Amino acid sequence: MKQKKIFLILLFSAISLVVFSQPSFEKIIVSTDLEFIKLTENTYIHVSYFDSPEYGKFSSNGLVYIQNKKAFLFDTPMSDSVTRKLVSWLEDSLQVSVVGFVPNHWHNDCMGGLTYLQSKGIKSWANQMTIDKATVEKLPVPDVGFADSLTLYLDNNEIKCYYFGAAHSTDNIVVWIPSERILFAGCMAKDVYSKSLGNTVDGDLNEYPKTIQKVIAHFPNAQIVIPGHGFFGGKELLKHTQKLLEK
């Protein structure tokens, strides 16, 4: 009887994994360096690819949230040219206008396309620490800063931005879409296949565990968690990141 119970638990776990697997979501290939994954009627992950002399070809994730033909963008691809493709596809294929942008932190896999967005007159919000760092690094600077948290609205639907502390970078935030139960955690969250924390040269390994714990505690109802790179999933991504930090 005990063996049968263990088998049923394992079978249920396998079924759950298959149901939530990446292939069960619609993927739209725009070009060799840009794809979209449709999560819900209102949300897409944008996946962009970049060839780095140091790391080779790798992908980066961002989020698009849509309401009534208007969209907010969270993180850009690493270049203005791919960001142009992203915005053009949203405009031409979905007939939506990007009306706002929020980067996760100051690195170019989050705001490498900010110059293009600003050329389009798209307003941007960011952690004030991100604005300060971008200013020091002589990078394009987001328009409006916030300290601990910020609530934005897209057709009366809330977009919640939070700074919980340093992790992958000292300025990294998370974005919560309550209506979709989607948490865009960015680079502080690692996908379940990650064997390491990746690049933490601009982060704080002492604060990282505390920050992740705050995020886990604050979003018990998160159904989808999106990391900055790799596969999305559920809250297990945050737990996996915790385990990597323990190592």
Tell me how far CA of residue 4 lies from CA of 7, 8, 16, 154, in angstroms: 5, 6, 18, 50
Q: Pick the catalytic residue: 38, 160, 214, 229?
A: 229
Helix (H, G, I), strand (E, B) or coil at 2: helix
Q: Pick the catalytic residue: 42, 75, 85, 105?
A: 105
Tell me how far CA of residue 90 lies from CA of 28, 42, 65, 97, 180, in angstroms: 12, 12, 11, 7, 19
Q: Pick the catalytic residue: 46, 168, 235, 240?
A: 168
CB 63 within 8 A of CB 184: yes
Active-site residue 80, yes or no? no
Q: Pick the catalytic residue: 42, 75, 108, 109?
A: 109
CA dist 170 and 200 (Å) reads 10
Active-site residue 105, yes or no? yes
Q: Pick the catalytic residue: 75, 85, 187, 191?
A: 187
Q: Pick the catalytic residue: 46, 190, 235, 240?
A: 190
Active-site residue 218, yes or no? no
Q: Pick the catalytic residue: 46, 85, 107, 240?
A: 107
Helix (H, G, I), strand (E, B) or coil at 91: helix
Q: Pick the catalytic residue: 199, 202, 210, 214?
A: 199
Active-site residue 138, yes or no? no
- Transcribe 168-186 into DSSP letters: SSTT--EEEETTTTEEEEE
CA dist 78 and 69 (Å) reads 25
Number of Cβ within 10 Å of residue 243's Cβ equals: 9
Active-site residue 190, yes or no? yes
Residues annotated catalytic, as ranges:
105, 107, 109, 168, 187, 190, 199, 229
